[in-house]
Amino acid sequence: MRIDSVHQGDWDGTKGLYHINAVDCVTQWQVVATVQTISEAHLLPVIEQMLAQFPFLILGFHADNGSEYVNHRVAAMLEKLRIEFTRSRPRRSNDNGLAETKNGAVVRRVFGYEHIPQRHAGRFNTFCAEYLNPFLNFHRPCLFSTDKPDPKKPGRIKRVYRAKDAMTPLDKLASLPEAHTFMREGITLEHLQALATALTDVQAGEELKQARQALFKRVPPRTG
């Protein structure tokens, strides 16, 4: 799992809230959450909630070198859950490229760049859990690469992205051999697929749009 923080702007010296973006490398299953600040008091409970939203076992946790993730309390939590912790190398932004890409393609596209006060973090976190995350994992297709020999460089492998390989994270999960063996206790693929088919992709998109509009109505516009 790759994880990163997205800051929702400053305004007149006041920090906005933060979005936490986590993506599984194999299935691109994505969980977004929102916190007031990235202090331990706010971040640790939300990370635990995010891990619980993945329907399968998480074996690895990869972050950049931010102190919000590289600290003893996060390390202790991951050790308790038997999750390996790794971090990006200095000046190697591609080490966390999957999360960085999703920051722009998903988080910024949904929430934009404008300052959002920290006091709204609870409402935004509820929106993520109830509307955004189900849409991302049940209804939004992702591109997955296929390895092919590079005709211009014998012996080298080239990654190509084909339209026919696009699928939702749930579909990718279901396509994996022995997928049921990776699932967390009490969660089945059949249950997840039933949740996914409860709405069409169009209906889910419209529901997300309406929920987002209602959410931002609660956030007063900036003045000055």
The confidence band for 222, taking pLDDT boundaries of 50, 70 and 90, is low
What is the H or E stretch that residue 172 is in?
helix 169-175
The confidence band for 141, taking pLDDT boundaries of 50, 70 and 90, is very high
Give the total number of structural domains in the chain: 1
Instruction: Give the pLDDT of residue 157.
Output: 83
| Gyration radius of the chain over CA positions | 18
Please give the residue that has the higher pLDDT: either 24 or 157.
Answer: 24
Euclidean distance between CA atoms 15 and 21, whole angstroms: 18
Instruction: Give the pLDDT of residue 96.
Output: 85
Instruction: Give the pLDDT of residue 150.
Output: 79
Residue 144 placed within a domain? no
Residue 170 placed within a domain? no
Instruction: Give the pLDDT of residue 51.
Output: 95
Residue 162 placed within a domain? no
pLDDT over 80 at 92, yes or no: no
* CB half-sphere exposure, 56, CA atoms < 13 A: 24
Instruction: Give the pLDDT of residue 113.
Output: 93
Q: What percent of the chain has pLDDT over 70?
A: 97
Euclidean distance between CA atoms 133 and 121, whole angstroms: 16
- Looking up residue 24, the CATH number of its domain turns out to be 3.30.420.10
How far out from the chain centre does Cα 190 lie?
22
pLDDT over 70 at 221, yes or no: no
Residue 197 placed within a domain? no
Residue 176 placed within a domain? no
- CA angle at residue 134 from 30 to 85, to 5 degrees? 25
For tokens 């699932």, name the residue. 183
Which of the residue ranges 53-67, 70-84, 144-158, 185-199 would you say has the lowest mean pLDDT?
A: 144-158
pLDDT tens by residue, 118-127: 999 999 999 9
pLDDT over 90 at 110, yes or no: yes
Instruction: Give the pLDDT of residue 194.
Output: 97
What integer is the mean pLDDT of 134-161? Answer: 88
Which of the residue ranges 2-11, 116-125, 152-161 would you say has the lowest mean pLDDT?
A: 152-161
Instruction: Give the pLDDT of residue 95.
Output: 77
The predicted model scores a pTM of: 0.91
Residue 54 placed within a domain? yes
Q: How high is the mean pLDDT of the chain?
A: 92
Instruction: Provide the residue range defining the domain that includes 51.
Output: 2-119
Instruction: Give the pLDDT of residue 120.
Output: 95
Instruction: Give the pLDDT of residue 183.
Output: 95
Residue 219 placed within a domain? no
Residue 52 placed within a domain? yes
